[in-house]
Amino acid sequence: MIADQRGRVRRERAESERAAAIERITAATRALLREHTIFDLTSAVVADAAGTTRQTVHNYFPSMYELIFALADDLTVEFQTAGDGLDVDDPHWPYLYADRVADIALEDPIPNRQVLLVSASQGRGMAAATSETNRQIVPALKRRNPVAADKASWLTMTLFRGTLFSWGAEQLSAEELRENLRDVADVVVAQRGLWLEEV
């Protein structure tokens, strides 16, 4: 029993240390990307900025692409959970959700543009948090209107991806990003109305 407890404590401490190391590395990488490009990143540069060793960076992120994908995954989860706390019965819910997505992207635009663009160009896309999409968006859509919530979720995230990747490629200003995300909300609302009529 004591041995089991000690083992549990060791595992919890190791997990806490792992999470702290990853947080230091990803925070340092975001700081670097505010001043440099992804092409300037190496494990040595990131390690120096994070106050750790190259081996530690390599242990958690064997390549710089994996580090960038991890940042993109974190951003994706933020986008997909942006509707938390919103009143889904509010007719403006899709537009409020779109505005929150824009707020997240624009909060730290230089790193966010880079990680979105690299993840898209390397085939990563925004698929890492698909279960989060279903857990967060589909129930909200079902409460508003149970018809075709899964299809509406797919449509929302597909159109959002296109808009966010266009912004990542610096083809859109901050205002254009907001406007295009709200246009996505218009499309989703209109399409769900058509699906409801079909039923």
pLDDT digits over 81-103, tens only? Answer: 887 787 767 778 888 889 999 99
pTM of the model: 0.78
- Give the tokens for residue 118: 């690299």
Tell me how far apart the alpha carbons of residues 64 and 70 are, in angstroms, rounded to a whole number: 10
Read off the amino acid at residue 100. Answer: R
All structural domains of the chain with their residue ranges: 1-62, 64-199
Q: Exposed, middle or buried: residue 170 (CB in 10 Å: 0-12, 13-18, 19+)? A: exposed
Residue 9 tokens, joined: 């404590």
What is the per-residue pLDDT across 4-55, written as a single tens digit (0 to 9) for each? 777 777 888 888 999 999 999 999 999 999 999 999 999 999 999 999 999 9
Selection from 110, 111, 109 nearest residue 30 by Cα:
111
What CATH number should be reported for the domain whose range is 1-62? 1.10.10.60
